[in-house]
Amino acid sequence: MLLNGHDPAALRRAAEHLAAGELLALPTETVYGLGARADDDAAVAKIFAAKGRPSDHPLIVHVLDAADAEAFAAELPPVARRLMNTFWPGPLTVIVPRKAGVASASAGGQDTIGLRCPAHPVARALMAEARQLGVQGIAAPSANRFGRVSPTRAAHVEEEFDGQVWVLDGGDCEVGIESSIVDCSRAHPVLLRPGVLTPAEIEAAAGEPLQAPDAQAPRASGTLAAHYAPRAVVRLLDPARLADSLQQKLPAGLAVYSRTMSPPAGVLHRAMPGEAKAAAHELFAVLRELDAAGAQEIWIEAPPPDSGWDGVRDRLSRAAAAFSH
Sequence-separated (6 or more) residues with CB below 8 Å from residue 260: 239, 301
Asked if 125 and 117 count as a contact pair (C-beta separation under 8 A), the reply is no
3-state secondary structure of 94: strand
- By beta-carbon proximity to ligand TXA, the closer residue of 149 and 246 is 149
Should residue 180 be labelled a site residue for Mg ion when binding is judged by CB under 5 A? Answer: no
Closest CB 57 distance from ligand TXA, rounded Å:
5
- By beta-carbon proximity to ligand TXA, the closer residue of 299 and 309 is 309
Burial of residue 267, with CB atoms counted within 10 A of its CB: 0-12 exposed, 13-18 middle, 19 or more buried = middle
Cα gap 317→225, rounded to integer Å: 8
Selection from 153, 136, 28 nearest residue 91 by Cα: 28
Asked if 120 and 64 count as a contact pair (C-beta separation under 8 A), the reply is no
Closest CB 144 distance from Mg ion, rounded Å:
6
Closest CB 263 distance from ligand TXA, rounded Å:
32
Sequence-separated (6 or more) residues with CB below 8 Å from residue 222: 142, 178, 181, 193, 228
Should residue 142 be labelled a site residue for Mg ion when binding is judged by CB under 5 A? Answer: yes
- By beta-carbon proximity to ligand TXA, the closer residue of 18 and 255 is 18
- By beta-carbon proximity to Mg ion, the closer residue of 66 and 224 is 224
- By beta-carbon proximity to Mg ion, the closer residue of 110 and 142 is 142
Sequence-separated (6 or more) residues with CB below 8 Å from residue 201: none
Closest CB 17 distance from Mg ion, rounded Å:
22
Closest CB 117 distance from ligand TXA, rounded Å:
10
From the list Mg ion, ligand TXA, none, which binds 110 (C-beta under 5 to 8 Å, kind-based)?
Answer: ligand TXA
Closest CB 82 distance from Mg ion, rounded Å:
26
Which neighbouring-strand residues pair with 256? 269, 299
From the list Mg ion, ligand TXA, none, which binds 218 (C-beta under 5 to 8 Å, kind-based)?
Answer: ligand TXA
Name the residues that contact ligand TXA, by CB under 6 A: 28, 30-31, 33, 57-60, 93, 95, 107, 110, 112-114, 116, 140-142, 178-179, 181, 192, 218-223
- Considering only residues 200 to 259 of the shown chain, the ones binding Mg ion according to CB under 5 A are 222
Cα gap 35→203, rounded to integer Å: 30
* Binding-site ranges for Mg ion (CB under 5 A): 142, 222
